[in-house]
Every structure is written in structure tokens, then in C-alpha cells.
Amino acid sequence: MAVFGGRRREDNPALPPGQHLTESFPVLSAGPTPSMDTADWEFFIHTETGKTHRWNWGQFLALPSADITVDIHCVTSWSKLGTSWRGVSLDTLFAEVETGFDFVMAHSYGGYTTNLPLEEILDGKAWIAYEYEGAELDPEHGGPARLLVPHLYFWKSAKWVRGLTMQREDNPGFWEEYGYNLHGDPWREERYS
Amino acid sequence: MTSPSAGWLTGSLTRAHPLTTSARSITFTVPSWPGNDAGQHVDVRLTSPDGYQAVRSYSIASAGPGEMIELAIDRLPDGEVSPFLVNDLELGDTVELRGPLGGWFVWRPDQPQPVQLIAGGSGVVPFIAMTRAHASAGNSVPMQLLYSLRTPEDAFFRDELSQLAATVRTTWHYTSIVPPGWSRSAGRLTAKDLQRETLPPEKTPLTYICGSTGFVETVSRALTSLGHAPDAIRTERFGGT
Amino acid sequence: MDHLDGNVLAGPITGFFDFEPTTAQGQCQSCADIAALGQAMVYGQPMGFVARCGNCDNVLIVIVERAGQKSLNMRGLRWLRVADPVEQNRI
């Protein structure tokens, strides 16, 4: 009798529970890939006072950037180790932002949303990435720029990100509204709520 | 016989044979299977000893009443379920099945319109069911198949399609390698090919397209530009897991 | 991401309704287009099934399946219409 094993779940300390390794880069999105010209692109951070901080593509690229090598973990159970990115730290983008709220809602071109606690995207934990493996970020992987929050499940790393809106409560984003975890820590297997 | 049965049924593998070097026909006996229409699909669920489950949707190559269903599975290189079904599953082994499913991408013998089927690669599977249903009903409605595939070795059910040629004509199209002596060169299906090889809008056919997303997009766009009404085109794209 | 057709919704919707969902007609709340669910464009797998209007991309239905439960949200459908199976069988 043949026994179904599923994907090999290897005993690798870099793998969170229930994850398997992949060499490819599977594409998952809740909608079509928006066609985005960097001439029309902007990134914003909107706060509770009504103030909106904005960067166009040129201003964004002029910010100090960092090379980032991280492991990424998709809730659908694949993990990819040692991926390399280039992007702007959220610490840089939040340098001039004053807010008393503890949560953000990330908004994407195309309408996708995902919620995050502010403390999970500061202190060197998150970036707006615009290069992957040394090349400009492919549209199907979120180009021109995506959120990169590698220590949470990858649906939190919103593709085609266009801005962050501060929020008082941790209101759910797109997948979170339908039962995915508000927080999404792969090491605690926070897949569903 | 088209209403979905809730819950999962158990099917045991009764027959199996290779279709190509990467694909296999597998026939399950499924007690209390209600029969299925041509073009319907079934969800297959596998469970590992530690409780992990994987579900995939497959088109059914067989049609009609009875407790046997035939699937034709292509092994995806990075797949999780298809390599198991193609390489590992042995006669007598069981899987869980949910279905029959779907009512949109089906053909029933009482449909009056002429039918054009257009398959890309393993997208031919629901059309095997339709050509079989057409033959077994002795149906006189015109039905023809345009089958686009990479190389001659990739063909599913070539002998059967040739035997059915009297009732359903199959036009073969090769995108990468053609057989020796073939009059056409290899290449992607173009609007010109479609104009030459498919039923024209004047015959008001119902056209079914099944294949990868790219194939379905290209073909359906070309057909619309040739004057087919969007409502007269039914599509089924298959995913990559 | 490559999307699939609404046909694929037949399995996950099983258990919510006792009618065949892919032939049911629905109207998009956003653009008022009327189409069979089988004609929708389905994204989001394997996290869930996100069925979008083939005309305007509006999200019609979201289904998330997980061990032991599944949820269905029909956020973008104004209505859903099915043929009465009894009437259909009389034809």
C-alpha cells in the first residue's frame, strides 16, 4: 500500500512548525496583479491627526536603503531560506511620524489590506522592499514595492503596498477578516484566529 | 445525477495505466458514486499518517452512470499530490473523493448547439469525457476538438480520439515539436489557426476551452476578436499545485 | 497570480447550499454585471477562494476552508439566483 507523506517536513531548526522548504517562489495573491507605473507610484503614512506623509518614487529611492537577507514563511506551509532583498526600513519612514496609535493597516494598489501592530514593523523588523535577489522586484511578487515583515507569515508582507494608515484598534485586514490570525507568528503557528 | 453529494466518498484504485511518460490514467471504484456529467470534476483528498491533508481538484475523463470514475493525472514537477497519484498509488489503495462537482463547464447530450472543444495539454481531460458522452449517446450535434500540445509524445488518449474521429474530429496542433512529415511547423496557437480550425461564429457554436491560464486567456481573447459572443465561450483554467 | 474559473468553487461551496453553485446566477454589487458563478475569476488559493467579478474585479465571494470549519462571505453579491431543481427536472 502506498502511504501519502505530503511534502517532506524536514528536521531543520530554521523551519517553524508545520513548514516545509521550497526552492521556488510560489505566487499567491487575492486578486490580479495591478499594473503600476513608478511615475504614478506613491507611498503614504496617514495618522490620526489627519496628517499624511508622502513619498513619490524618486523621493523614496533617495532614502537610505539596506540589504536584507531573511527567511520567509508562507501560511500555506512553504518556507524559503536566505532570500535577499533591498529596501527602506520602516524606521526611516516613521522617523518624522508622530502617532499615539498602536496599530497600522497596510493598503495595497488593487485593494488588498493587512493589519499589523506598530511595534512589529519598527526596530529593524520591517522594510518597504523594491529589489529581490539583486533585480527590481517582479510585479507578480509585489513590484514596484512591497512590505517585507519576514518574522510574520508572508501574507502580512503586503504586495504592491501603497501606504499605511494608523489605527487605534487592531482591525482585521483582508485575510484576517475571514479567519486568518490577527498577528501571524510562524514560530507560534498563529495561522488562524 | 448532477447534484453534489455532501461529504467525502471512498474510492479504491481499480485500474491504472500510463498515458505518457509523466501522466497516468487511474480509475476508481466509488461505492454510491451517483454518476457524473461530462466535464464535471472531483476533489481528491489524501491524508498522511500524521493527519496532514491535501485536497486537489481534477477533471473526470469518464461520464455517465456507474460507480467507476476515470481520472487522467499529469505529474507536476514540484507537485505534492500529482506525483503520489502518478508514481505511488497502487491497485486497491483508497483515496477520499468529493463530487461530482460543477455544472457550468459541462456538456449534456440534450444541448442543441454545435460544440467546439479547445484543449491545451492536459486540459483535454474534460473533453475526453465529452467526446465519450457524445459517442455513447449517438448524438448528431456536431462536436469537434482542437488539441494543442507540446510534442506528439504528450498526447493523452490518442488512439481513442482517432477511433472517435467519425463522430468527433480531432485537429492536432503542436507548439514545440511536430511529428515527422507534418505539414505545419510547431508554434503557439494563433488567431489564424483558430479561424481555420474551429467552428466559426456563424454556426453559433458553444466553445469550451480548457488549459493553463495563459492558454485560456489567449484563446478566449482570440475567439472574441473573431466574433464569438463571450457568453458562448466557457473556460476552465487549471492551477499549478 | 494565475487565476482559475468559478467552476472550482463547486467543491468548497458544497455543504453550504443544496444547489449546484456554479450555474447559479449572481449580480455584482459594484458594476451590476450578472453572470454565473462559474464565470467568476478565482484567486487566493491555497489560502482561500477569492471569487471576483469577471467584469470589474470586485470581490464577490470569499471562502476559507480549514480543518473542522469553513467560512463563506458573500460581500460583493447583490443577489444569487438558482433554478428550482424540481422545475428543471420536469423539462
**pLDDT classification of B222: cutoffs 50, 70, 90:** very high
C69-73, strands of its sheet edge to edge: C4-5, C41-43, C49-52, C59-66, C69-73
∠ CA C27-C44-B37, nearest 5°, is 65
Is the per-residue pLDDT at A38 higher than 90? yes
Q: How far is A4 from chain B (nearest CA, A)?
A: 5
Give exposure, B161-187, as e/b (b: 16+ Cβ within 10 Å): beebeebbebebbbbeebeeeeeeeee
Where are the domains positioned within chain C? 4-80
Q: Give strand ranges (E) for chain C.
A: 4-5, 25-28, 34-36, 41-43, 49-52, 59-66, 69-73, 77-81
Q: A–B: how many Cβ contacts below 8 A?
A: 25
Please check whether residue A147 is in contact with residue A160, taking contact to mean a CB–CB distance below 8 angstroms.
no
Where are the domains positioned within chain B? 9-101, 115-237
Q: How far is B198 from chain C (nearest CA, A)?
A: 22
Nearest Cβ partner for A2 among B47, B78, B90: B90
Among A122, A129, A119, CA closest to A92:
A122
Beta strands A161-167 and C69-73 are: unpaired
Q: Quick one: average pLDDT of A97-109?
A: 98
CA distance B132 to B123: 16
Report pLDDT for B1: 38
Is the per-residue pLDDT at B188 higher than 50? yes
Q: CA-nearest residue of chain A to C52?
A: A31
Cβ neighbours of B47 in A, within 8 Å: 4
Contacts of A106 (CB under 8 A, 6+ apart): A113, A114, A115, A116, A147, A156, A158, A161, A163, A164, A173
pLDDT in tens, A112-151: 999 999 999 999 999 999 999 999 999 999 999 999 999 9
Rounded to 5 degrees, φ, ψ at A143 are: -65, 150
CA distance A147 to A159: 6
**pLDDT classification of C7: cutoffs 50, 70, 90:** confident
Report pLDDT for A23: 87
Cβ neighbours of B78 in A, within 8 Å: 22, 24
Q: How many alpha carbons fall within 13 Å on the CB side of residue A115?
A: 19
Report pLDDT for B79: 85
Cβ neighbours of C10 in B, within 8 Å: 4, 41, 101-103
**pLDDT classification of A10: cutoffs 50, 70, 90:** low
Minimum mean pLDDT range among B47-56, B218-227, C29-38 = B47-56
Contacts of B170 (CB under 8 A, 6+ apart): B144, B145, B146, B147, B161, B162, B164
Q: Quick one: average pLDDT of A40-46?
A: 97
Report pLDDT for C70: 86
What region, left, alpha or beta, does residue B64 occupy, with left being phi > 0 and alpha being psi -120 to 50 degrees?
left
Nearest Cβ partner for A27 among C1, C57, C59: C1
Q: CA-nearest residue of chain C to A31?
A: C43
CA distance C6 to C39: 5
Cβ neighbours of A31 in C, within 8 Å: 43-44, 50, 52, 57, 59
Q: How far is A111 from chain C (nearest CA, A)?
A: 10
Q: What share of chain B is helix, strand, coil (3-state, %, to 5)?
A: 25, 35, 40
- Assign a CATH topology to domain B115-237: Rossmann fold (3.40.50)
How many other CB atoms are found less than 10 A from the CB of residue B129? 26
ipTM: 0.91
Report pLDDT for B4: 38
Among B122, B121, B118, CA closest to B25:
B122
Minimum mean pLDDT range among B55-59, B143-147, C14-18 = C14-18
∠ CA B161-B166-B167, nearest 5°, is 80
Task: Specify which residues A79 forms β-bridges with.
Answer: A21, A73
Is the per-residue pLDDT at B216 higher than 90? yes
Beta strands A127-132 and C77-81 are: unpaired
Is the per-residue pLDDT at C84 higher than 90? no
Q: Which grid coordinates belong to B187?
A: 508554434
Cβ neighbours of A4 in B, within 8 Å: 46-48, 54, 84, 88
Element (DSSP H or E) covering residue B211: strand B206-211
Cβ neighbours of A5 in B, within 8 Å: 48
Report pLDDT for B2: 37
Round the average pLDDT of chain B to a whole number and report it. Answer: 93
- Looking at residue B87, its amino acid is N
Report pLDDT for B167: 92
Three-class DSSP labels, A22-53: CCCCCCCCCCCCCCCCCCCCEEEEECCCCCEE
pLDDT in tens, A151-172: 999 999 999 999 999 999 999 9
Task: Specify which residues C27 forms β-bridges with.
Answer: C34, C79
Q: Is some CB atom of chain A closer than 8 A to the CB atom of B47? A: yes
Q: Is some CB atom of chain C closer than 8 A to the CB atom of A127? A: no
The CATH architecture that domain A39-188 belongs to is Alpha-Beta Complex (3.90)
Is the per-residue pLDDT at B241 higher than 50? no
How many other CB atoms are found less than 10 A from the CB of residue A65? 19
Interface test with C, best of B44, B101, B217 (most C CBs within 10 A): B101
CA distance A17 to A11: 10
Q: How far is B28 from chain A (nearest CA, A)?
A: 15
**pLDDT classification of C27: cutoffs 50, 70, 90:** very high
Is the per-residue pLDDT at A92 higher than 70? yes
User: Is CATH 3.40.1210.10 what the domain over B9-101 is classified as, yes or no?
Assistant: no
